Amino acid sequence: MKLNTLIVAGICAGAFLVSCSPNTAKENQLKFTHTSLVDGDAFQFFKLVGAKVVYEKDYAAHVETIATSSEVRQLAAKVKEVYGELVPALDSLATQYQVDFPVKDSETFVAVQQDATNGAHVHEADSGSTQAAAGHGHAFSDASYVQHVQHESAIIKEQFQRLTRNTNRGLRDFAVANEEKVAELFKLAGGKEDAHAHH
C-alpha cells in the first residue's frame, strides 16, 4: 500500500512541477488573459497603424477610380502600394507578438456616392461598415484627399519613428525598414519635415 501511495505522490508532484514550467505559464497567460508580448507603446502602434493602413489602402483604391487629377490618382496608387505591402507584414508581426490584427473595433472603409437627384449620400457597401469615404461623409475633392493623405501619413510616420526607439529589437528593425516608405508618402502629399525634429 505504501508503494502505491509513493507512486501516486510522485505522479502528482511531477504533474505539478511540469505545470509550473515557465513555458507552460507563458502559454496559459497568453491563452487565458489575451495579453500580448509587446509593451504599451508597441501595442499602441499596432492599434493605430494597423487600423489606419487597412482603411487607407481601401480608401486609396476607391480614390484611384474617382479622382479627376492624374497626380492625385498617382498619389492614391502609391498609398495603396505602400500600405498594401505593410498590411501582410503587420499581420505577421502581430501574430508573432500575440496582438490581434487589425485591432478590434477599427474603422472600415465604406465608399459613398453622391446622389445627383437630392444630394444625399448612398452607401455602396453594407451598413455594418462604420466609416464613410470622403472625409467622414463630406464631399470628395482631389485637394481634400491630398490633405487627408498628408494628415494620416504624418500620424503613421510618427508612430514608426516612435517604434524605432522600442526596446524590442524585432519591432525596431521592422520600423527602421519601413519608416522611409511612409515618410515618402508624407512628402508626396506635400508634407514638410520639421527642421527641429529629432530622431
CA 197 to each of CA 8, 35, 117, 159: distance values in angstroms, whole numbers, following the listed order = 66, 34, 49, 14
pLDDT band, very low/low/confident/very high, at 124 (cuts 50, 70, 90): very low
Q: How many CB atoms lie within 10 A of CB 7?
A: 10
List pLDDT tens digits, range 24-35. 766 665 555 556
Q: Please tell me the distance from the alpha carbon of residue 76 to that of residue 63, in angstroms, as a whole number.
A: 6
- Span 110-126, average pLDDT: 49
Q: Where are the domains of the chain?
A: 1-35, 38-188
pLDDT band, very low/low/confident/very high, at 130 (cuts 50, 70, 90): very low
pLDDT higher than threshold 60 for residue 59: yes
pLDDT higher than threshold 50 for residue 198: no
pLDDT band, very low/low/confident/very high, at 5 (cuts 50, 70, 90): confident
Give pLDDT, residue 17. 62
Q: What share of the chain is helix, strand, coil (3-state, %, to 5)?
A: 65, 5, 30
Give pLDDT, residue 16. 65
Hunting for cell 505593410 — which residue is that?
A: 86
CB of 164 within 8 A of CB of 175? yes
Q: How many CB atoms lie within 10 A of CB 99?
A: 23
Give the CATH number of domain 38-188.
1.20.1260
pLDDT higher than threshold 90 for residue 14: no
Rounded to the nearest integer, the mean pLDDT of the chain is 80
